[in-house]
Amino acid sequence: MKREPVKDLRSFLLQLEERGELIRIQKKVSLKYELAGLEKRLEGAPAVLFENIDGSSMAVVSGLCGSRERVGLALNTSFESIHERYAQAHLGAKPQLTKDGPVLEKIGNVKLSDLPIPLHFEKDAGPYITSSIIFARNPKSNYQNGSVHRLCVLDNKRLVVRAVEGRHLDNCIQTAKNTGTELDVAIAIGVHPAILMAAAYQAPLGTDEMQIASGLMGGPLSIVKCPGSNLVVPSHAEMVLLGTLDPEQLEEEYMTEMLATYDYKRLQPVITVRKILQRKHPIYHDILPASREHRFIMSVPVESKILAGVRNTVPSVEDVRLTEGGCNWLVAVIKMKKKYDGEPKNAILSALTAHPSLKIVYVVDHDIDISDPNAIEFALATRFQADDGLVVIQGAKGSSLDPSSNQAKRTTSKIGIDATATLSIPWDRFETAKIPGVDQIILKNYLPKEAKGLFQ
Ligand code: MN
């Protein structure tokens, strides 16, 4: 039987390198702002492997999913089909439990200062691990959850974790708190990006994120049990930190979030790390907060969730996009071919329900390019009437990140904008004019030599 090639961070880096989408930097780089500064300056470029980090023997990779095309590559599909991939993910092969794996190559005590954990932004509370997937079991149900959380370094053994209230890790923490126990955690750093994108997918409570990862990768994900623990982790992770979360021990943390603004200061639980499992020459993965990589890893799974939710109510919805201007989190555009005039409003309500952080939802017709902000404004300018197409919802729970929301009550106003053409006016009044054959013209056949370089 032919064995499927292993998919891990290293195989993905190889894929990127073959496509000319990986830059290696050999110059020594400081973890204090310099690494983050370089990541910022290289945004939109290929992924970057920093091979020489001041103060750490590990290499650092960043920008793996810095474009929608690379997100598609990570999920083994074209970026137009990403959401179909999510819809099918739960049907994929089951994760395969193995006895051994590269992550067990080296097991030792951990000193966090040995890890290349960068200090990213001026006012962050400290150095942050940003690509970390935290695995924990609910002490009562024994269900294992995996989700992405930032971790701030307090000292050589302790991290403070941002565990968003009401999400699944918080559910495990609250159960531990109520039963007076501590929570065992395994923190994976440096995995194939499909695993990160599975952990960022807000599946219903009880769904195994590793099953989603398996489905997204198109083959069984190999997992291994951590020594001295009942947690399982991807067996090809670059490193895994094993530790204990104490629900009663809290420390302050705050850092730059998806909106590129600073999150407010909160007391969050502390994790004490005991052991590190690692591969030989492990590669550390850093995600620059608010970068395209951060936003795509978080928002593409949420787009899938919105699309599935809205399609339940309005099957004619074709696509959804969380816009870059809306920080890939607060503003969605829905594309549909409506049959009835009321459908866009149903789509607005479903989208707001599917992704509670949403603040603004546009609905546009099927002929609008939802990746183009000008096309969305065109729909608004030519197809929207505020007295009929505007939905305003006051005092709803929204994203805690939005600094314009009611900071005391944590509420926000939400709007939906139906920018689809009304069915009561014939479609040809809205149709954008076309010149027949315009796309077939080969310009270089017509232009003088000196102008050829100007046009494609
Ligand atoms: Mn979960």
**Residues 303/322, Cβ–Cβ less than 8 Å:** yes
| Strand order, beta sheet including 360-365 | 317-322, 331-336, 360-365, 411-418, 390-397
pLDDT for position 5: 76
CATH code 2.30.110.10 region(s) in the chain = 9-292
- Distance between Cα 199 and ligand 1 center (Å): 7
- Distance between Cα 394 and ligand 1 center (Å): 30
Query: Which residues of the chain register pLDDT less than 70?
Result: 1-4, 455-456
**CATH architecture for the domain at 314-424:** 3-Layer(aba) Sandwich (3.40)
Q: Is 360 exposed, middle or buried (0-12, 13-18, 19+ CB in 10 A)?
A: middle
Looking at 3.10.450.30, 1.10.3720.10, 1.10.760.10, 2.30.110.10, the CATH number of the domain 9-292 comes to: 2.30.110.10
pLDDT for position 91: 83
Q: How far apart are CA 359 and CA 331, in angstroms?
A: 6
pLDDT for position 4: 63
Q: Is 2 exposed, middle or buried (0-12, 13-18, 19+ CB in 10 A)?
A: exposed
Q: How far apart are CA 374 and CA 208, in angstroms?
A: 40
- Distance between Cα 425 and ligand 1 center (Å): 46
Which one, of 259, 425, 285, lies nearest residue 357 by Cα?
259
What single letter denotes the amino acid at residue 299?
S
- Distance between Cα 186 and ligand 1 center (Å): 15
Integer Rg of the chain from CA: 23
- Distance between Cα 177 and ligand 1 center (Å): 19
pLDDT in tens, 388-404: 999 999 999 998 889 99
Tell me the DSSP string of 63-103: -TT-SHHHHHHHTTS-GGGHHHHHHHGGGSPPPEEES--GG
- Distance between Cα 209 and ligand 1 center (Å): 6
Rounded mean pLDDT of the chain?
Answer: 94
CATH code 3.40.1670.10 region(s) in the chain = 314-424
pLDDT for position 93: 87
Residue 355: both structure tokens together: 């992704």
- Distance between Cα 287 and ligand 1 center (Å): 21
Residue 271: both structure tokens together: 């994790």
- Distance between Cα 429 and ligand 1 center (Å): 48
- Distance between Cα 257 and ligand 1 center (Å): 21
- Distance between Cα 430 and ligand 1 center (Å): 44
- Distance between Cα 148 and ligand 1 center (Å): 10
| Residues 6+ positions from 175 with CB-CB distance below 8 Å | 138, 139, 140
Instruction: Give strand pairing partners of 266.
Output: 253
pLDDT for position 196: 96
Running DSSP on this structure, what letter comes out for residue 206?
T
- Distance between Cα 168 and ligand 1 center (Å): 5
- Distance between Cα 437 and ligand 1 center (Å): 51
- Distance between Cα 167 and ligand 1 center (Å): 8
Work out the angle at residue 39's Cα, subtended by the Cα atoms of residues 30 and 123, and round it to the nearest 5 degrees. Answer: 70
pLDDT for position 367: 96
Whether the full predicted model's pTM is greater than 0.85, yes or no, is: yes
Residue 206: both structure tokens together: 């009880």
**Residue ranges with strand state E in 13-87:** 22-25, 47-50, 59-62
- Distance between Cα 366 and ligand 1 center (Å): 33
- Distance between Cα 147 and ligand 1 center (Å): 6
Work out the angle at residue 36's Cα, subtended by the Cα atoms of residues 40 and 68, and round it to the nearest 5 degrees. Answer: 45
- How many other CB atoms are there within 10 angstroms of residue 349's CB atom? 17
- Distance between Cα 357 and ligand 1 center (Å): 18
- Distance between Cα 290 and ligand 1 center (Å): 23
pLDDT for position 2: 53
